[in-house]
Homo-oligomer: A and B are copies of this chain.
């Protein structure tokens, strides 16, 4: 997407009131905020704190022409491409992890020219969200210099007027929508994340519309009690969705581990059936389930509890 001038971004914000009002919505209503053609930034990274409940709802509703950006993309990117909602991804890496090999789906779509993959270095993408969050149209960096990556994307080299050094300018990324999953939020949208925060805070501050799903909706008092743990202030948030285990089968730090066996099954099916396996996955887990709770229930309670127990064990609880 083209870089927006600061004045335009600010005018958009100024048009929106930002009260600490009750923003609690059901996923179905919240996801209506996403429009065809939007650039949707997806919080978390790889298989950590992915806003899976929100993504599944969006996949259920269907959209066209979306672009999906994410620091490291996991198989949710494949669902959006094969599901026909998105025709491009902006990321630094796509796959699940070493044991699962290269993404056959992305290979097939990108090599065949049916989807675009705009590649930025991990830091460069982080700086793009950060520039967007800081309200400036670019940030300078020493990464990506000299590589062939810069030839494929919109960057500029300049000479630093203070030191004479060569720096690369990467453009701000202000997504139309940011979707993030957090540990706790009050109904106004003040949100806290435990552990590593990925790029969520910058993504949210940069975005034009923000939907937060949360493991727990808590009283405002719970937030003010440890206000230094708040990473998203309410006036950056448009909707709050209650989503216990809302990142599953991905992990949520301290709450539950990722379900690696689920990934195994998915990858085995793709190896066997190609893109059709992705459609079948969508059919089984999204379209034929009335909601995310039903999808979770399909794992069975003991498996879900096992994932929570593993997290507790790792946290030394």
Which chain A residues have a beta carbon within 8 Å of chain B's beta carbons? 3-7, 135-142, 154, 156, 158, 160-165, 167, 169, 171-172, 193-197, 227-229
What CA separation (Å) do A171 and B160 show in the bound complex? 10
With known contacts A142-B6, A142-B136, A195-B228, A171–B167 Cβ distance under 8 A: no
What CA separation (Å) do A162 and B197 show in the bound complex? 29
Cβ–Cβ < 8 Å partners of A160 in chain B:
137-138
Known: A7-B165, A140-B140, A156-B162. 20 other contacts (CB 8 A): A5-B164, A5-B165, A6-B165, A135-B142, A136-B139, A136-B142, A136-B167, A137-B163, A137-B167, A138-B140, A138-B161, A158-B158, A158-B161, A162-B171, A162-B172, A195-B227, A195-B228, A196-B228, A197-B228, A228-B229
Specify the main secondary structure of chain A where it touches its partner. Answer: loop
What CA separation (Å) do A172 and B160 show in the bound complex? 11
What CA separation (Å) do A117 and B125 show in the bound complex? 38
Query: Can you list 9 A-B pairs with a CB-CB distance of less than 8 A?
Result: A135-B142, A137-B140, A137-B162, A137-B163, A137-B167, A138-B140, A156-B161, A162-B171, A195-B228
A220 CB → nearest B CB, Å: 14
B167 touches A162 (CB 8 A): no
A140 touches B139 (CB 8 A): yes
What CA separation (Å) do A7 and B162 show in the bound complex? 14
Cβ–Cβ < 8 Å partners of A165 in chain B:
5-7, 137
Task: Specify which of A193, A196, A228 lies most central, judged by the most chain B CB atoms within 10 Å of its CB.
Answer: A228
A256 CB → nearest B CB, Å: 18
Task: Specify which of A140, A162, A229 lies most central, judged by the most chain B CB atoms within 10 Å of its CB.
Answer: A162
What CA separation (Å) do A137 and B158 show in the bound complex? 12
Cβ–Cβ < 8 Å partners of A197 in chain B:
228
Q: Which residue of B lies closest to A169 (CB)?
A: B161
B163 touches A6 (CB 8 A): yes
